[in-house]
Amino acid sequence: MFFVARHQTIKHTSMKQKHDNLTTDVYASEAMRESAPVDRIPEKGTTPQVAYRMVKDETYAETRPELNLATFVTTYMDEEATRLMNEAIAVNYIDETEYPRVAVMCGRCINILANLWNTPEKRDWKTGALGIGSSEACMLGGVAAWLRWRNRRKAQGKPCDKPNLVMSSAYQVVWEKFCQLWQIELRTVPLTSDHLTLDAEAALALCDENTICVVPICGVTWTGLDDDVEALDRALDTYNKKTGYEIPIHVDAASGGFILPFLNPDKRWDFRLKWVLSISTSGHKYGLVYPGLGWVVWKDKKYLPEEMSFSVDYLGASITQVGLNFSRPAAQVLGQYYNYIRLGREGYKAVQEASMAVARYCHGEIGKMACFKNYSPEISNPLFIWSLCPEYERKAKWTLYDLQDKLKQSGWMVPAYAMPKNIEQMVVMRVVVRQGFSRHMADQLLTDIRNAVEEFEALQYPTTSRLKYEQQVKQCGKVFAH
CA distance 84 to 133: 20
- Regarding 72 and contact with ligand PLP (CB under 6 A), the answer is yes
Q: Strands 427-432 and 383-388: what pairing?
A: antiparallel
Binding range to ligand PLP, per CB under 6 A, among 11-19, 249-257, 434-442, 460-468: 249-257
Closest CA to 272 of 261, 258, 259, 287: 261
**20: number of Cβ within 10 Å:** 20
Cβ proximity to ligand PLP: between 106 and 138 the closer is: 138
Cβ proximity to ligand PLP: between 199 and 226 the closer is: 226
Cβ proximity to ligand PLP: between 420 and 448 the closer is: 420
- Regarding 332 and contact with ligand PLP (CB under 6 A), the answer is no
* Strand ordering across the sheet containing 372-374: 372-374, 383-388, 427-432, 416-418
Q: Which of 294, 305, 382, 420 binds ligand PLP (CB under 6 A)?
A: 294
Q: Which of 77, 105, 113, 133 binds ligand PLP (CB under 6 A)?
A: 133
- Regarding 143 and contact with ligand PLP (CB under 6 A), the answer is no
Contact 392, 400 (CB under 8 A): no
Residue span 14-53 as binding mask against ligand PLP, x where in contact by CB under 6 A, dash where not: ----------------------------------------
Binding range to ligand PLP, per CB under 6 A, among 90-98, 161-169, 248-256, 375-383: 248-256
**460: number of Cβ within 10 Å:** 5
Residue span 82-101 as binding mask against ligand PLP, x where in contact by CB under 6 A, dash where not: --------------------
Q: CB 386 → ligand PLP: shortest distance, Å?
A: 18
Q: CB 253 → ligand PLP: shortest distance, Å?
A: 8
- Regarding 174 and contact with ligand PLP (CB under 6 A), the answer is yes
Binding range to ligand PLP, per CB under 6 A, among 45-53, 233-241, 250-258, 334-342: 250-258
CA distance 309 to 184: 21
Q: Under DSSP, is residue 296 helix (H, G, I), strand (E, B) or coil?
A: strand
CA distance 440 to 358: 9
- Regarding 270 and contact with ligand PLP (CB under 6 A), the answer is no
Cβ proximity to ligand PLP: between 174 and 191 the closer is: 174
CA distance 405 to 401: 6
Angle between helices 331-368 and 100-116 (to 10 degrees): 40
CA distance 305 to 115: 21
Give one DSSP letter per residue of 163-194, joined into a string: -EEEEETT--HHHHHHHHHTT-EEEEEPP-SS
Cβ proximity to ligand PLP: between 127 and 221 the closer is: 221
Question: 331 Cβ partners below 8 Å, 6+ apart?
Answer: 84, 85, 86, 88, 89, 91
Q: CB 214 → ligand PLP: shortest distance, Å?
A: 15
- Regarding 254 and contact with ligand PLP (CB under 6 A), the answer is yes
CA distance 465 to 469: 6
Which residue type does 105 have? M
Q: CB 220 → ligand PLP: shortest distance, Å?
A: 6
Phi-psi category of 238—alpha, beta or left, where left has phi over 0 and alpha has psi -120 to 50? alpha
Q: CB 282 → ligand PLP: shortest distance, Å?
A: 4
Which residue type does 93 have? Y
* DSSP single-letter state for residue 213: E
Residue 109 Cα distances to 129, 282, 349, angstroms: 10, 13, 17
Cβ proximity to ligand PLP: between 24 and 223 the closer is: 223
- Regarding 134 and contact with ligand PLP (CB under 6 A), the answer is yes
Q: CB 30 → ligand PLP: shortest distance, Å?
A: 40
**159 φ, ψ (degrees, to nearest 5):** -65, 150
- Regarding 393 and contact with ligand PLP (CB under 6 A), the answer is no
Q: CB 256 → ligand PLP: shortest distance, Å?
A: 8
- Regarding 282 and contact with ligand PLP (CB under 6 A), the answer is yes
Binding range to ligand PLP, per CB under 6 A, among 87-95, 129-137, 179-187, 429-437: 129-137
Residue span 211-240 as binding mask against ligand PLP, x where in contact by CB under 6 A, dash where not: ------x-x-x-------------------
Contact 280, 296 (CB under 8 A): yes
Contact 116, 218 (CB under 8 A): no
Q: Strands 164-168 and 211-215: what pairing?
A: parallel
- Regarding 191 and contact with ligand PLP (CB under 6 A), the answer is no
- Regarding 139 and contact with ligand PLP (CB under 6 A), the answer is no
- Regarding 138 and contact with ligand PLP (CB under 6 A), the answer is yes
Q: How many residues bind ligand PLP (CB under 6 A)?
A: 15
Interacting residues with ligand PLP (CB under 6 A): 72, 133-135, 138, 172, 174, 217, 219, 221, 252, 254-255, 282, 294
